[in-house]
Amino acid sequence: EVQHAVPMLSLDNAFADSDIEAFNRRVRERLGRDAEAEPVVYAAEPKLDGLAVSILYVAGVYERAATRGDGVTGEDVTANVRTIRSVPQRLRGAAPAVIEVRGEVFLPLAGFDRVNREAAERGEKIYVNPRNLAAGSLRQLDARVTASRPLDVFFYSIGQCEGSAPPASQTELLARLRSWGLRTCPEIARVEGVAGCLEYYRKIGARRAQLPYQIDGVVYKVDSRADQERLGFVSRAPRWAIAHKFPADEELTTLIG
Ligand code: IVH
């Protein structure tokens, strides 16, 4: 077990455009912002369908990795996460004395197909979806099995941070993560107001099937950290972010007997 020094929060879900309009209205009202004169700037990001992990670097060196768990207590997955090729053993440049970086571990679709094909050839059970395979891979007792799975990770936030002031915005935070050699999702955009959010949702939704990994929606985060702090949290979710989910996939089944 690992106790998270800074809790790993979850996100409120929205499905309809009107939910996003209501979210933006709440944000504006709490910040005292006039919609026309000064639209709220958001970082819009794909909602990656994987598993959240938190990785601790001490003096820039990989120290420990944990799953989200219930947000307060996670599971230690240090040995397994170390095998992921895009997780650096040492951060580049001037990293803070202590920094916890957070993101989503996922299995790209091509890797999922390959692992399942090989499992089928060996007569083993196949996994239902990339998320289940990623979760199973992180829970392996033998890190060599995890190493054989082509897992990847995109980082999107930080937890504990000592020895450096946190960046002034989500956009700057992502740039900082990249400067340390950590991968971030290439689809992230800075958008203005509810119109910018909904345009982003539609554009990513149209390209969803072409992306090399699975996403189940998008996340809008108030870009300014000062505004995030003013908005704060309710129970386990920030008031400054929301997940805009895609409708669930529907399939037809013919009942033949
Ligand atoms: S931010 C304070 N950004 O969604 C907000 N989460 O429903 C913390 N997720 O546990 C999360 N993509 O596993 C954030 N771009 C993204 C995300 C993302 C996927 C997952 C994450 C989190 C869950 C919350």
Residue-wise pLDDT for 113-166, tens only, equals 999 999 999 999 899 999 999 999 998 889 999 999 999 999 999 999 998 888
Check whether 230 has a pLDDT greater than 90: yes
The pLDDT of residue 170 is 98
Query: How far is it, in rounded angstroms, from Cα 39 to Cα 69?
Result: 36
Does residue 48 have its Cβ closer than 6 Å to ligand 1?
Answer: yes
The pLDDT of residue 248 is 83
Please tell me the distance between residue 116's alpha carbon and the centre of ligand 1 in angstroms. Answer: 26
Does residue 39 have its Cβ closer than 6 Å to ligand 1?
Answer: no
98: which residues sit within 8 A by CB, 6+ positions away? 56, 57, 58, 160, 161, 162, 163
Please tell me the distance between residue 68's alpha carbon and the centre of ligand 1 in angstroms. Answer: 10
- Could you confirm whether 47 is annotated as catalytic? yes
